[in-house]
Chain A
């Protein structure tokens, strides 16, 4: 099959590799029809995530058609499914509590060592996202092997396009969980840092959860424009002072809840003294935790902090004092995608959430390397690229 493979910093290629096979009873093989490039993929593209190996297949936002099933899979050939990016077993203690991203069993045993050393306990596996999260082949390919296919993938009813439902795989549930973690009360003002896909879905979700006002912060005019479309007020941090603006816009109180949807910004996924080799490849001094610091600083007393943004290691100058003195609450984590999929699929069917607005470009899989470069170079216009293995070449 053809697949987008990682070879090093700013070096991704479409290669011919072996087709995936059923290896475990609960596996299914999916023929990919749509697969997106994620902001998180840019961190791999920029070479900031440790434990990547040349030839790794990328991609964790994908959907397609079931073409093969293991004896314990509950899927049927021909079904269309969206696959969650978190690989979870459905039967461990954490899965039982719907904490799917904390699944004990999704990550192969040997790969759990790194997470155990770094974080105290290993987290679930993820598709196409380094060997730290399992080393699973991703979905920017013609086919993919999906473990635990009886509990992960959600079957899509007829009448919905790929574009409508693809983002159930990651960023829509992530934006939703971000808003849920902000414990929004009716009438609240919520501030969202970052108007990428996650931030934009957090904006929509916050309104659906009863926020009276959402204030969105970014520096890309087009992305701020999209936030405005969903009713958010905006702050362009290049033109205005974010903290001052937030205080003035909230009557001197500060936002009731703040959401950091910016994250490591390709400059801060670092690991502390676990494996020297890993450490050497990282840039310990350049972590950009600006957004979370600012969010904590601006948040009102007794308010809530939600952090969907990804951080990997240790952070300097964390405003622990402000956090303690103001009595804030912080909720965060990789998204438990499986938990949110059914309800969000319903919300899409009922037209409560708009997903297609985000897609700015559609390309064939063969042009994936071009897609990475575009997404990397022009974040203002390129909000989301969807790759379609079957599509004809697109001239640009």
Chain B
């Protein structure tokens, strides 16, 4: 690399794949990354994220996360046509107030890995960078799931981070609905 741009912005797909492979150890994986600046203290953002059971509040595709231990969690994620995919994830790296990285356990339908970093941004708050590596699966169920994950995972990640920002900065997630019924429909 001859510049300082993040690997996730590389024009070269091989560079992104190699970097994803480093993260989850699978050759065909893809890598996406998104950064957002949130006008709240680093420790507060870290603490919210570290409590995985809270993540579905802003991650639209994630139905539920159960914490099995301090480092192991069980994820239930919405797939198209009302189906659900599930896997266990293990925290593989963690540094208080700075970094959380996790990876799906052996045998997951969609091997994936996530990493979120928190850096001070002076009077602008905290820079939050989420990097996700995932391996689109094969097979029939696999294809269904792939549809979910390949439906612009980058866009999904960007939307989730925007919701995280809204929740942290304003205490709520913006909606244009005007009745409870519309809001429920939006969330379904």
Contact = CB atoms under 8 A, between A and B. Distances in A.
B169 A135 contact: no
Contacts of A147: 174-175
A23 interface: yes
Contacts of B163: 109
A94 B15 CA distance: 35
A314 interface: no
A136 interface: yes
B39 A92 contact: yes
B176 A134 contact: yes
Nearest to A25: B172
A117 B155 CA distance: 11
B177 A23 contact: yes
Interface string A101-137: 0001111111111001000000001000001001111
B128 to A, nearest CB: 13
B183 interface: yes
Contact of B176 (A18, A72, A104, A136): A136
A112 B174 CA distance: 11
A91 B169 contact: yes
Interface residues of A, number: 37
Contacts of A25: 171-172
Which interface class (under 10, 10 to 19, 20 to 34, 35 or more) fits B?
Answer: 20 to 34
A24 B180 contact: no
Interface in B145-188: 155, 158-160, 162-163, 165-166, 169-181, 183
Given A21-B179, A96-B39, A104 B169 contact: yes
Given A24-B172, A105-B166, A125-B174, A93 B181 contact: no
A149 B82 CA distance: 36
A110 B159 contact: yes
Contact of A108 (B124, B155, B169, B174): B174
Contacts of B169: 89, 91-92, 104-105
B155 A23 contact: no
B178 A109 contact: no
A98 to B, nearest CB: 14
A120 to B, nearest CB: 13
Contacts of A93: 37, 39, 124-125
A26 interface: yes
A23 B181 contact: no
A80 interface: no
Contacts, number: 86
A333 interface: no
A26 B174 contact: no
Contacts of A19: 179
A351 B103 CA distance: 66
Interface of A is mostly: loop
Interface string A20-31: 110111100000
Nearest to B121: A93
A104 B175 contact: no
A110 B151 CA distance: 14
Nearest to B159: A109
A26 B166 contact: no
A148 interface: yes
Interface in A54-104: 72, 87, 89-93, 96, 104
A145 interface: yes
Nearest to A147: B174
A42 B39 CA distance: 37
B172 A113 contact: no
Contact of A135 (B155, B173, B176): B176
A91 to B, nearest CB: 5
Contacts of A113: 155, 158-159
A91 B178 contact: no
B162 A109 contact: yes
B39 A109 contact: no
Contacts of B155: 113
Nearest to B177: A23
B178 A18 contact: yes
Contact of A18 (B39, B124, B174, B181): B181
Contacts of B176: 108, 111, 125, 131, 134-137
A87 B125 CA distance: 22
A291 B163 CA distance: 40
Interface in B111-135: 124-125
Interface of B: 37, 39, 124-125, 155, 158-160, 162-163, 165-166, 169-181, 183
5 contacts: A91-B39, A92-B170, A109-B160, A109-B163, A112-B162
In the A-B complex, the 3 residue pairs with the closest CB atoms: A109-B162, A20-B178, A24-B172
